[in-house]
Amino acid sequence: MAKHSKQFVRSLKNITNGYSSVQIQVRNATSNDSWGPTSAEMNEIALLTYHDRYVDDIITILERRLNDKGKNWRHVMKALTLLLYCVYEGSDAITDWLRRNLHLVTTLCEFTYADARNIDQGGPIRAKATVLTELLQDETKLMNEKQNYQRIRQQMGKPGIVDFNTHTSTTADTSSHGRLTLDLPPPTSPNSMVRPKSSRQSLEGRYSLSLQTPLQSIQEDSNELVQIASREVLDLNMSK
């Protein structure tokens, strides 16, 4: 019920605010839903950054998301996730814009928000903002990382976790503390992009960049889904 009401409100805002189809794509990819953005969504948006007429629409929504506060922390986290993906897969227009507006990212290195359970949801945001800031401030590092990323993508035949320390595709490794890891989707062409049919598929295919170990990230995602599902069932029973 809550899910459908959120989608209705979002659709209503899309209409009343006159958002373009590209802006709606970015809004959906960076929504307050507990899953996403998916690999398919990010692939589509990254490809759109190579068309000058779409870049402004993409940037407009991402800038608003980065400036969100408090209960909309998912907007911020997903915007950073999408931006990190676009830095690797998108056009230089996104990287250039980020460098000109670096303050939007650096301020998020200190982002904090405690939810109703007094849990700090700012950790992943601070981690992503720190990684993105370091890449934007070091041209050589960014160039090397992108070259490594593209080479590994070309060698990969299926999704995996890319470890930039060893330049290999691996499964979850509990010993890889502090490594920069990317849960990569398979190479996708514009004609083969298919949106997921369910939130479960969205979560399974999503991209994540974290300073935590891959196994920890997977476990935390699963725990979060269980908690969210439990709360929604409880809310539904109470509303009957």
- Give 34-51 pLDDT, tens digit per residue: 999 999 999 999 999 999
User: Residue 52 sits in which domain range?
Assistant: 8-157
Q: Per the domain annotation, does 196 fall within a domain?
A: no
Q: Is the pTM of this model over 0.75?
A: no
Q: Per the domain annotation, does 215 fall within a domain?
A: no
Q: Per the domain annotation, does 15 fall within a domain?
A: yes
**Which pLDDT does position 150 carry in this prediction?**
86
Q: Per the domain annotation, does 54 fall within a domain?
A: yes
Question: Could you count the other beta carbons within 10 Å of the beta carbon of residue 180?
Answer: 17
CA distance linking residue 79 with residue 96, whole number of Å: 16
CA distance linking residue 213 with residue 53, whole number of Å: 38
User: Tens-of-pLDDT digits for all 240 residues of the chain?
Assistant: 566 677 778 788 888 889 999 999 999 999 999 999 999 999 999 999 999 999 999 999 999 999 998 999 999 999 999 999 999 999 999 999 999 999 999 999 999 999 999 999 999 999 999 999 999 999 999 999 999 988 888 887 544 434 333 334 333 333 333 333 344 344 344 444 444 444 334 333 333 343 333 334 434 444 454 454 445 444 444 544
Q: Per the domain annotation, does 62 fall within a domain?
A: yes
**Which pLDDT does position 3 carry in this prediction?**
61
Q: Per the domain annotation, does 203 fall within a domain?
A: no
**Which pLDDT does position 227 carry in this prediction?**
52
Q: Per the domain annotation, does 237 fall within a domain?
A: no
The length of the chain is 240
**Which pLDDT does position 31 carry in this prediction?**
96
| Number of domains composing the chain | 1
CA distance linking residue 49 with residue 173, whole number of Å: 33
Q: Per the domain annotation, does 36 fall within a domain?
A: yes
CA distance linking residue 86 with residue 205, whole number of Å: 17
**Which pLDDT does position 224 carry in this prediction?**
52
* 23-29 long-range Cβ contacts below 8 angstroms, 24+ apart: 23/57, 23/58, 23/60, 23/61, 26/57, 26/58, 26/61, 26/62, 26/82, 27/61, 29/78, 29/82
Angle at Cα 59 formed by Cα 53 and Cα 62, nearest 5°? 145
User: For residue 72, what is the domain's CATH number?
Assistant: 1.25.40.90
**Which pLDDT does position 98 carry in this prediction?**
98
* Arithmetic mean of pLDDT over the chain: 75
Instruction: Evaluate the omega torsion of the peptide bond into residue 37 and state whether it is cis, within 30 degrees of 0.
Output: yes
**Which pLDDT does position 171 carry in this prediction?**
34
**Which pLDDT does position 127 carry in this prediction?**
97
**Which pLDDT does position 6 carry in this prediction?**
73
